[in-house]
Structure 1
Amino acid sequence: MAVYRGSVSEQRATVSDAAISSLLGAAIREARQSRKLSMRALAASANVSQPFLSTVESGQTMPSLASLYRIAAALEVSPSHLLPAAGEPEPITVSRRDASGWAPITDHPDTGFHRVVSSGTARRATVQEYVLEPGQRLGDWYQSDGELTVYVAEGSITVEVEGRGSWELDEGEAIAHPGALRNHWSVRGNGRTRIVLVYAGDS
């Protein structure tokens, strides 16, 4: 199997940060309009300001993960439903470790950052990477459809699943559970933390 490390423009489709923001904004606007919601109504339901929602829908702003979850919940869709899929007809995409596209996990100033590593329509799987430096915060409780797999690439965390218990995960360990179960992550220790989240669903 060939391994490409140089210029791979012939082998992959590249989507710029601006294009991702534009596609995400368009998906949110389309979902809102299909539900006959005004921008003011959606903003109120998602607990964001109307001017902020306007910049998101126009592709000028990339929402934090927490804001995206609230907007998706208000629209009654999964967050992955709003994320742009890999471009067609190219079947291969490459995501470099130094690529941009990072967004804050929450709206808090001391939050960590995450990025979408891969999002495709064929298998309905989305891969996201989270990076937190010492003292930075993860989000609150989350819930979605589909199946979630949480893999600790660096550091250690505690994953709490509401009504089921909590598990301490060290580097190289993972946990999988239905997204419908409310879950919360917290960082253990004082080092750098990297988490890979794999979402698999039908929508």
Structure 2
Amino acid sequence: MEDEAALNARVGATIRALREKTGLSMRELARRAGVSQPFLSQIERGVSAPSMITTYRLAEALGERPGALLPAPDGTGMTVVRAGEGREIPVANRPDAARGRALVMQPGNPLEVIEYVVAPGEYLEEWFALPGDMAVYVVDGRLEVEVEGAGTVVLGPRELVAHPASARHRWRVHGEAPVHVLLTIAHPPEGPTLRPPRS
């Protein structure tokens, strides 16, 4: 696995290349994605890594899926992610944000699989909404899933909820134990327009 600095540099270069391809200035992309221009500059230079919410907002502004902002995998089309591998991405741009591990998030792939192990007190309550369908599977612990217009459900080990990803949704750790979750998102084949709600 390449080190974090090298990976951040490749992610930044990919975002810069996509921005230039679309003809957007750094200022305009930052405005559309709801981030500051200095922060976008840090991302493009590989100094900072985008959070999950920032990745989705940049992808929306660029007309791409989130996976398009990450480097393409090497190999023959088979992806194996070992324990400890995968791109670690915080949920939000804040120090107490929960961190996910992107197991599948690649250019051209409509499937995303992200693993979370979240302790009580870590920030997880960001609202998300994006095209496609999603399923949340709890490996261990308890997770509260709130879906706007559909209600709230608490999942325990080996339980799953599926819903349209376009419905605004957020999660909370339920109880005092960490929760281990697998999130699967199937984006529509025709493509992008990801819309994490502005807070």
What TM-score do the two structures reach when normalised by structure 2?
0.81
Q: 1:48 aligns with which of 35, 52, 58?
A: 35
In the TM superposition, what is the alpha-carbon distance from 1:121 to its structure 2 partner? 5.7
The size of the alignment, in residue pairs, is: 189
In the TM superposition, what is the alpha-carbon distance from 1:123 to its structure 2 partner? 5.4
Q: Once superposed, which parts of structure 1, at least 4 consecutive aligned residues long, lie more than 4 Å away? A: 120-123
What SS does the aligned partner of 1:176 have? Answer: strand
Pair member with larger Rg = 1
In the TM superposition, what is the alpha-carbon distance from 1:169 to its structure 2 partner? 1.0
Q: What are structure 2's unaligned runs of at least 5 residues?
A: 192-199
1:68-83, aligned counterparts within 5 Å?
A: 68-83=55-70
What SS does the aligned partner of 2:53 have? Answer: helix
Q: CA RMSD in A?
A: 2.3
C-alpha distance after superposition, 1:140-183 (max 9, x if no partner): 11011222111111211111222222221111111122222221
Is residue 185 of structure 1 aligned with residue 171 of structure 2? yes
What SS does the aligned partner of 2:172 have? Answer: strand
Partner of 2:101: 115
Partner of 1:10: none
Which whole-Å CA distance do the structure 1 matches of 2:164 and 2:89 have between them? 25
Is residue 25 of structure 1 aligned with residue 8 of structure 2? no
Partner of 1:4: none
Q: Which AA in structure 2 matches 1:48?
A: V
What TM-score do the two structures reach when normalised by structure 1?
0.80
Higher RCO (CA-CA < 8 Å; seq separation 6+): 2
What SS does the aligned partner of 2:29 have? Answer: helix
The sequence identity of aligned pairs, in percent, is 38
Which whole-Å CA distance do the structure 2 matches of 1:139 and 1:85 have between them? 29
